[in-house]
């Protein structure tokens, strides 16, 4: 069973405590006691033993895969440094490995590429072992089976999502889960000023990585013409769609030409024009401009 414990690292998140002149252990303990008495001290949830074991396996696999990816990236960097164009989609596959074997590199770069290729093959068995271990821990898990039914989620991403979320029953609604995962936008509001920024990214980074990977995989499957298990038809973009139906037609760029100027040209007196602000749908005769006082003074001076 999961249990909760109070988080003591909250003084840095409380703005009022940062303005204290004196900061020591005695003052910190007093402030934490006040927060606990008022019920405003955040709690950190301690996972169950099975969830912690699954999380250790999934996170360790992620580290091992990251190490293998780093070795492959370094091989690509060496080839780019030597000015060699790669014409294979995967230089670590069957054809790509043969191409690397026939490639002639200078002495320092050839040894580095050989070492990196040897290190790339080391984690393969470890990754397979960790995947089997995670599958054994998730045998008969109902939440894992439900997550696997979603499009774009395979055994690896499903294991990461289950391990990072843990007991999903502690969330009353989907919005709470999204807020805990850091997928909701920031909201800053004061009086009539409202600012909504990017997602908060306050939750588990592994969970956001898994969800983003699932979305990208689903989009790749749709682009390749392989619909997922729960594929939905694309949204209609024609006039029958509600957003497109309510959207006004685009204005001609010539209509805004005069508005962009500092002083739009005035029509001569007596000409016909349509002014939507005053009389929409009917023509209005432009009145003559009022006499300028400077013009009258100039006329009297000339006389």
Residue 271, pLDDT score? 54
Are the C-beta atoms of 152 and 224 separated by less than 8 Å? no
Residue 266, pLDDT score? 58
DSSP 134: H
| Whether residue 227 has pLDDT greater than 60 | no
Residue % of the chain over a pLDDT of 90: 43
Average pLDDT value for residue range 68-87: 93
Question: What is the β-pairing status of strands 193-199 and 272-273?
Answer: unpaired
Average pLDDT value for residue range 215-226: 79
What integer best gives the mean pLDDT of the chain?
A: 79
| Whether residue 30 has pLDDT greater than 50 | yes
| Whether residue 183 has pLDDT greater than 80 | yes
| Whether residue 55 has pLDDT greater than 70 | yes
Residue 123, pLDDT score? 93
Q: Angle formed by the axes of helices 49-81 and 107-121, to 10°?
A: 160
Are the C-beta atoms of 131 and 58 separated by less than 8 Å? no
Residue 296, pLDDT score? 56
DSSP 294: H
What is this structure's pTM? 0.66
CA 58 and chain centroid, separation:
22
Confidence of residue 281 (pLDDT cuts 50, 70, 90): very low
Confidence of residue 63 (pLDDT cuts 50, 70, 90): very high
Burial of 159 (0-12, 13-18, 19+ CB in 10 A): buried
Residue 279, pLDDT score? 45
| Whether residue 57 has pLDDT greater than 90 | yes
* Region of poorest pLDDT, from 9-18, 124-133, 180-189: 9-18
Cα 145 to Cα 155: distance, rounded to the nearest angstrom: 10
Average pLDDT value for residue range 191-202: 88
Closest by CA position to 43, among listed 2, 78, 100, 92: 2
| Whether residue 248 has pLDDT greater than 80 | no
Average pLDDT value for residue range 161-190: 91
Confidence of residue 274 (pLDDT cuts 50, 70, 90): very low
Residue 259, pLDDT score? 52
Neighbours of 52 (CB within 10 A): 13
Cα 295 to Cα 98: distance, rounded to the nearest angstrom: 90
Residue 77, pLDDT score? 95
* Region of poorest pLDDT, from 38-47, 70-79, 210-219: 38-47
| Whether residue 10 has pLDDT greater than 60 | no
| Whether residue 255 has pLDDT greater than 70 | no
How far from 103 is each of 72, 87, 97, 110, 114, CA to CA, in Å? 16, 13, 10, 9, 11
- 6 vs 72: which has the higher pLDDT: 72
């Amino acid at each position: 069973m999961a249990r909760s414990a109070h988080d003591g690292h909250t003084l840095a998140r409380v703005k009022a405590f940062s303005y204290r002149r004196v900061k020591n252990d005695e003052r910190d303990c007093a402030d934490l006691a006040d927060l606990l008495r008022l019920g405003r001290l955040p709690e950190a949830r301690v996972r169950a033993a099975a969830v912690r074991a699954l999380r250790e396996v999934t996170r360790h696999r992620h580290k091992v895969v990251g190490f293998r990816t780093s070795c492959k990236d370094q091989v690509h960097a060496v080839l780019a440094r030597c000015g060699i164009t790669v014409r294979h989609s995967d230089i670590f596959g069957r054809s790509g490995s043969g191409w690397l074997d026939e490639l002639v590199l200078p002495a320092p770069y050839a040894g580095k590429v050989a070492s990196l290729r040897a290190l790339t093959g080391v984690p393969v068995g470890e990754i397979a072992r960790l995947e089997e271990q995670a599958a054994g821990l998730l045998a008969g898990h109902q939440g894992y089976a439900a997550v696997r039914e979603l499009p774009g989620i395979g055994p690896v991403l499903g294991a990461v999502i289950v391990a990072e979320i843990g007991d999903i029953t502690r969330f009353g609604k989907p919005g709470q889960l999204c807020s805990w995962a850091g997928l909701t936008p920031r909201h800053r509001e004061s009086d009539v000023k409202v600012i909504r920024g990017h997602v908060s990214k306050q939750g588990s980074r592994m969970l956001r990585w898994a969800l983003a990977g699932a979305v990208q995989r689903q989009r790749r499957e749709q682009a390749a013409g392989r619909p997922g298990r729960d594929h939905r038809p694309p949204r209609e973009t024609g006039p029958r769609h509600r957003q497109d139906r309510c959207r006004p037609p685009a204005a001609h760029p010539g209509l805004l030409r005069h508005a962009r100027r500092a002083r739009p040209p005035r029509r001569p007196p007596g000409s016909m024009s349509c002014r939507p602000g005053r009389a929409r749908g009917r023509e209005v005769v432009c009145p003559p401009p009022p006499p300028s006082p400077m013009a009258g003074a100039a006329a009297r001076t000339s006389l």
